Structure 1
Amino acid sequence: MNSTAVKDLAAEALFVSYLQPSESPNRSAVEEAITAMILRYGSDGCAAGVAEEFGDHPEVAVRRMEWVQEELIDVLRMRAPALR
């Protein structure tokens, strides 16, 4: 699986998770939610959940995906190897 596919799966998993932006979750909570949703729904289930929300509530889904992308930037920045 390439890094773009991994990022997309993480975004979909966080999107369908129980976490809310109002909770201001820390990095650990975000990582745990991503893992839990992948284990629970798999990649296809996460993607289906995102598609359903965009179909049913597009204006809310757009705002949630924007939050998801911001959270993932922070998580991925913390995971990036230090350059020497």
Structure 2
Amino acid sequence: MSEYRHHVDIMNIEQSMSRKGTNWDNSPPERFFRSLKHEQLIYEKFRTKEQAKLSIIDYQVFYSGKRTRSKLGFQSS
């Protein structure tokens, strides 16, 4: 068993796997991290890991609740 699978099992995470050549599983996280990089992190310089962590947490809250979405007619959820 690989080290990765071992950690997945320890954390009781269900690994999602799609068919070969299908990337739907990665699409939401890839979109989130792209937005995080282009909408938040390029504008900030962090002096500590704690500052970076708090900035990312703030963005997660914004992204999941306050950010407008085209599917919702550019309204927040």
TM-score, L = length of structure 2: 0.32
Specify which structure has the bigger relative contact order, considering alpha-carbon pairs within 8 angstroms and separated by 6 or more residues.
1
> Highest Rg: 1 or 2?
2
Which structure shows the bigger proportion of residues in strand conformation?
2
